[in-house]
Amino acid sequence: MTQNNFIAGVPWRNTRDLKTLVENRTTYTLDNCELNIFETHQQADDVNLVFGDLVLTTMLKGKKIMHLFNRPGFEYLPGESVIVPPNEVMKIDFPEAQLDNPTQCIALSISKEMIEATFNLLNEKFPDKMIAKDWGLDLSYFHLINTQDLSEIINRFIRIGVKDGSREKDLIASLALKELLIRLSQTQARDMMEKSYKELAAGNRMAHVIEYIKKNIREIISLEDLASQACMSKAHFIRTFKQDLGLTPMEFVLHERLKLAKQYLNIGGFQIQEVCYMSGFRNITYFIRAFKQEFGLTPKVFQTQKN
């Protein structure tokens, strides 16, 4: 989880204004959606929450235990989002919430009409997807780690809902909603690929490319290599990869190398220069700069804090 992927800028309610200490709710209504900000200021168990529309929830501060789809509960932390279908009951525990350590999250409910219209348009304009046959949301991948793109559009939507007082507010929100749905679909596609690329590699070009990247992450990898693995022209490959996954191929390679570097630093016992080269980087200065941009800390500081 990266420092860049945290959501910021949501106002806290004044303690005097709280109607309840458990899931105190502030609502901002816009066309085709409703932005809810929830705060909890004391420990609680078995709090039920349900919406009539599909909901994107994003954790901002503190920790919840979320129970969905009659499955065991899972920790829900800042930097993460959960997609919940209409009328699905969220059962939530707040094991650590206190007045001086509250939890805060948002829940953005999106109308069925907006979701259908957006994905119908995408399927009409960009039908040649390689990871999933159609644009849309797959609720098999409902618990997501926020990407930078997803966090940026959530942050933008919060600013529109909470702070924008212009007459054009609903139009701006509508455009932001469409981008948000695209980013969600791409984030889910990456999540799916991370979990199933080995099984899909024999019959899916993008899965094969991702398997190739992971197997050769310590080697020099070029766009030409990747396009060749996909049996596509370089221009078509870049366009298709970015459309399906929301990252360029080389951005994906960089993220994979940074994840590997983070694993080595968590293990401990390696010099920073060793981690740099073991993760596929060829330049220590570039490695340090890229690591800090992704995780908010230099590799040395990250290693020191972990050990």
**Is the domain of 21 the same as that of 90?**
yes
* Last residue within a domain, chosen from 148, 167, 195: 195
pLDDT surpasses 90 at 284: yes
The CATH number for 282's domain is 1.10.10.60
**Is the domain of 188 the same as that of 223?**
no
pLDDT surpasses 80 at 131: no
**Is the domain of 20 the same as that of 85?**
yes
Tens digit of pLDDT for each residue in 69-80? 988 999 999 989
pTM: 0.74
**Is the domain of 30 the same as that of 165?**
yes
Band (1; pLDDT cuts 50, 70, 90):
very low
DSSP-H helix ranges across the chain: 112-125, 148-163, 169-200, 205-215, 223-230, 234-245, 249-267, 272-278, 284-295, 299-306
Nearest to 92 by CA among 59, 140, 134, 117: 59
For residue 260, the model assigns a pLDDT of: 94
Tens digit of pLDDT for each residue in 237-251? 998 898 888 889 999
Q: What letter does residue 88 receive in the DSSP assignment?
A: P
The CATH number for 76's domain is 2.60.120.10
**Is the domain of 57 the same as that of 134?**
yes
